[in-house]
């Protein structure tokens, strides 16, 4: 008889940005398969998802992977359901219209590592500021790269868990980093981003470091914010073979700017200013290899004969990948 620890992970009802929650279920002789994870429940009145007089919410397992930091452990990503098994209003995953996994997503997750003692990003002195941004991007060396031990431990944990992390790098500001995750299927991409975020938060606990996903944690100062660029494609984009198809799809985003911004992360107006490699939140633009545009057409797509993907550069680092993917899919399908 063996015991396994299943960490059930879900998104709470915090506003304007949902937070991760998790609790452990100990089971006997577990197979390791998703279909053998039982639906569980939690107190929704403690997470902003129910009233106290009817507080039960359900956890429906949707993704499972090994927990690299626990003996006989698994990470189980869950959707939140109402007590009648309908999707809870906070359940962004349930809004995704991609049953055949035709949409592929690659998210570039940027974040800051915050020293809990000083409340500032790693690399920032207790008083004042470090050298201006620039030398920290893809950097090496103790005077440029801050928090590498955390970042490397996170990368190893993600890979051991089986998450499809395709790369990491130091970002433009001190204490700012990024990892990239790709998946075939919008829901799968969201699942992996959330589990990777969970692992990063848990690793940070050991170092007394918090993970800051705010899109502009340094306010109006002359430092880059954090985004979560959404690279996406479907069969149409992967096989188009002509510029006209790409421009038609890009133009479909123009009349629904507000609908996209509404789900691209709170406080994104602080980041999308038209500076620091962003387009203004009030405008919409697209262009080939243009990192100052709302949507970038990668040069690789053009060189492959207009067969590839698009990059929406507007999503903020604190955005919900489920909701972001859901809105992008809706717009692309409307264009088609």
Q: pLDDT tens across 31-71, in order?
A: 999 999 999 999 999 999 998 787 899 999 999 999 999 99
Percent of the chain whose predicted confidence (pLDDT) is above 90: 90
Per-residue pLDDT averaged across 265-284, rounded?
A: 90
Domain stop point among 61, 91, 121: 91
pLDDT reported for residue 54: 79
Q: Could you tell me the two tokens for 87?
A: 């999707």
Would 220 be classed as within a structural domain? Answer: yes
Enclosing domain of residue 77: 3-91
Class of residue 57 by CB neighbours under 10 A (exposed 0-12, middle 13-18, buried 19+): buried
Could you tell me if 181 and 304 lie in one domain? yes
Could you tell me if 292 and 182 lie in one domain? yes
pLDDT at 1 over 90: no
pLDDT at 134 over 90: no
pLDDT in tens, 225-246: 999 999 999 999 999 999 999 9
Would 331 be classed as within a structural domain? Answer: yes
The better pLDDT of the pair 22, 223 is held by: 22
H helix runs in the chain, sequence order? 148-161, 186-207, 235-239, 243-252, 257-261, 299-303, 321-335
pLDDT in tens, 70-104: 999 999 999 999 999 999 999 999 999 999 999 99
CATH for 123: 3.30.590.10
Could you tell me if 143 and 20 lie in one domain? no
Q: Could you tell me the two tokens for 297?
A: 């057409």
pLDDT reported for residue 220: 73
Q: Report which of 321, 72, 97, 102 is spatially closest to residue 192, judged by C-alpha positions.
A: 321
Could you tell me if 86 and 109 lie in one domain? no
Would 59 be classed as within a structural domain? Answer: yes
The residues near 258 (Cβ < 8 Å, ≥ 6 apart) are none
pTM of the model: 0.96
Could you tell me if 192 and 55 lie in one domain? no
Provide the pLDDT confidence category of residue 223 given band limits of 50, 70 and 90.
confident
The better pLDDT of the pair 292, 177 is held by: 177
Domain stop point among 91, 113, 132: 91
pLDDT reported for residue 201: 98
Could you tell me if 298 and 206 lie in one domain? yes
pLDDT at 268 over 80: yes
Q: Could you tell me the two tokens for 115?
A: 């020293």
Domain stop point among 91, 112, 146: 91
Contact 305, 241 (CB under 8 A): yes
pLDDT at 276 over 80: no
Could you tell me if 41 and 132 lie in one domain? no
pLDDT in tens, 284-308: 999 999 989 999 999 999 999 999 9
Could you tell me if 66 and 116 lie in one domain? no
Per-residue pLDDT averaged across 313-326, rounded?
A: 98
Give the DSSP H or E segment for 32: none
In the predicted model, what is the mean pLDDT of the chain?
96
Per-residue pLDDT averaged across 181-210, rounded?
A: 98
Task: Give how many domains the chain has, as a whole number.
Answer: 2
Could you tell me if 189 and 311 lie in one domain? yes
The residues near 99 (Cβ < 8 Å, ≥ 6 apart) are none
The residues near 148 (Cβ < 8 Å, ≥ 6 apart) are none
pLDDT at 128 over 90: no
Would 203 be classed as within a structural domain? Answer: yes
Could you tell me if 214 and 146 lie in one domain? yes
CATH for 16: 3.10.20.70
Contact 231, 310 (CB under 8 A): yes
- Three-state DSSP string of 273-335: ECCCCCCECCCCCEEECCCCCCEEECHHHHHCCCCCCEEECCCECCCCHHHHHHHHHHHHHHH
Could you tell me if 78 and 153 lie in one domain? no
Would 98 be classed as within a structural domain? Answer: no
Could you tell me if 86 and 122 lie in one domain? no
As a whole number of angstroms, the distance between CA 286 and CA 37 comes to 44
Would 97 be classed as within a structural domain? Answer: no
């Amino acid at each position: 008889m063996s015991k396994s620890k299943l960490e059930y992970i879900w998104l709470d009802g915090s506003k304007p940005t949902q937070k991760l929650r998790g609790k452990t279920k100990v089971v006997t002789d577990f197979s390791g398969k998703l279909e053998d994870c039982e639906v569980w429940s939690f107190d929704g009145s403690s997470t902003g998802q129910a009233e106290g007089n009817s507080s039960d919410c359900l956890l429906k397992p949707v993704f499972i992977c090994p927990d690299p930091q626990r003996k006989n452990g698994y990470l189980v990503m869950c959707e939140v359901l109402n007590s009648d098994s309908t999707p809870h209003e906070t359940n962004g995953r349930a809004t995704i219209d991609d049953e055949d996994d035709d949409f592929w997503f690659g998210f570039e997750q940027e974040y800051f590592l915050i020293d809990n003692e000083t409340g500032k990003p790693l690399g920032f002195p207790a008083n004042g500021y470090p050298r201006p941004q620039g030398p920290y991007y893809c950097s090496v060396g103790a005077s440029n790269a801050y928090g590498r031990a955390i970042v490397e431990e996170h990368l190893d944990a993600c890979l051991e868990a089986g998450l499809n992390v395709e790369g990491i790098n130091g970002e433009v500001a001190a204490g700012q980093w990024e990892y990239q995750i790709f998946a075939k299927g919008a829901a799968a991409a969201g699942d992996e981003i959330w589990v990777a975020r969970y692992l990063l938060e848990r690793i940070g606990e050991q170092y007394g470091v918090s993970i800051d996903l705010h899109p502009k944690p340094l306010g109006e100062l002359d430092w880059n914010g954090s985004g979560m660029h959404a690279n996406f494609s479907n069969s149409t984009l992967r096989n188009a073979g002509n510029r006209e198809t790409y421009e038609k799809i890009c133009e479909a985003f123009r009349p629904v700017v507000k609908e996209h911004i509404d789900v691209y992360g709170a406080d994104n107006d602080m980041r999308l200013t038209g500076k620091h490699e962003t387009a203004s939140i009030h405008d919409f633009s697209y262009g080939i290899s243009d990192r100052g545009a709302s949507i970038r057409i990668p040069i690789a797509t053009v060189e492959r004969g207009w067969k590839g993907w698009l990059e929406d550069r507007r999503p903020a680092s604190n955005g919900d990948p489920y909701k972001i993917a859901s809105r992008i899919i809706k717009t692309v399908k409307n264009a088609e």
